[in-house]
Amino acid sequence: MEMEDCTVILPTYNEADNIGKMVSSLRALYPRCGILVMDDRSEDGTDEIVRGMMADDPLLGLVVRDPSDKGLSASVMDGISKVETKYFINMDSDFQHPPEALAGIHSELGKGADLCVGVRKDRTSLSSFGRWVGSWGAQFLAALTLRLNGKPVSRDIMSGLFGGKTAVYSKVVEEHGHAFERKGFKILFDLMKHGPADAKVSESVFEFGERAGGESKISGRVVLSILNQCDGWGRFVAKLAKPFLKA
């Protein structure tokens, strides 16, 4: 599959163990897709690895972001704003989102979906019981918020693997980005919350993988961030929960 009408956004922070292998895997599978690495000032040489690969890959781009604006959601927002192709797909660099899964998402977009969410086939495989419970709890809160706002809902708002029409969601970022949880971790939630109520949302099921290298960045901050995205009631609960979580 060529995927010349699509750009893959890879937000990174200290992904030196994975980024080279991820870019190579994407290029082997999708020879003509764009790849845009949005790096949050990594301290392990992630950016240097990408620069080294750019010499032989004109479709590979790198943005080293403003250190005063760090955040996963902020990285993806900026990436969507910079994409020039018809479609974009956002994914992690640690192989929990397998490169092969992008084909299904791209296919759904080509069939007319405005947004396609990658749905993890077996979330019971999450690395710990606590993480499994947290994922399902976050899904419930996010889905409730979307329904209360009259927006489309997906079965896996927390997966982090998703693609969309650039024209639609670059406009959402431009017009509503000020209301996003910019330092948050679940940008898909905000894109759906502030996106069109009549957006055609599709899904593509994929096998969730184990992290290939480096350390997970999951912490209590993720839970607080999701609560802060859940309108006024969520922010109230976040204030009550903050003393009990590492923020």
Distance CA 39, CA 226 (A): 22
pLDDT > 70? residue 139? yes
CATH class as words, domain 6-244: alpha beta
Structure tokens at 155: 């079965």
Distance CA 192, CA 142 (A): 10
Of the pLDDT bands very low, low, confident and very high (cuts 50, 70, 90), residue 178 is: very high
Residue ranges of domains in the chain: 6-244
CB 114 within 8 A of CB 131: no
pLDDT > 70? residue 227? no
Of the pLDDT bands very low, low, confident and very high (cuts 50, 70, 90), residue 7 is: very high
pLDDT at 240: 52
Structure tokens at 41: 């000032």
> 17-21, 51-55, 110-114, 157-161: which has the minimum mean pLDDT?
157-161
Give tens-digit pLDDT for 51-74.
999 999 999 999 999 999 999 999
Distance CA 244, CA 247 (A): 9
- Give the three-class secondary structure for 89: strand
Distance CA 132, CA 123 (A): 7
pLDDT at 158: 87
CB 16 within 8 A of CB 49: yes
pLDDT at 241: 55
pLDDT at 129: 42
* Residue bearing tokens 């690895």: 49
| Cβ within 8 Å of residue 236, ≥6 positions away | none
Dihedral sign from CA coordinates of 38, 44, 49, 51: positive
pLDDT > 60? residue 244? no
> What letter represents residue 222's amino acid?
V
Of the pLDDT bands very low, low, confident and very high (cuts 50, 70, 90), residue 247 is: very low
> 102-111, 172-181, 224-233: which has the minimum mean pLDDT?
224-233
Give tens-digit pLDDT for 203-213.
999 998 765 55
> What letter represents residue 182's amino acid?
R
pTM of the predicted structure, to 2 decimals: 0.86
pLDDT > 50? residue 130? no
Distance CA 23, CA 94 (A): 11
* Residue bearing tokens 């495989």: 125
pLDDT at 223: 60
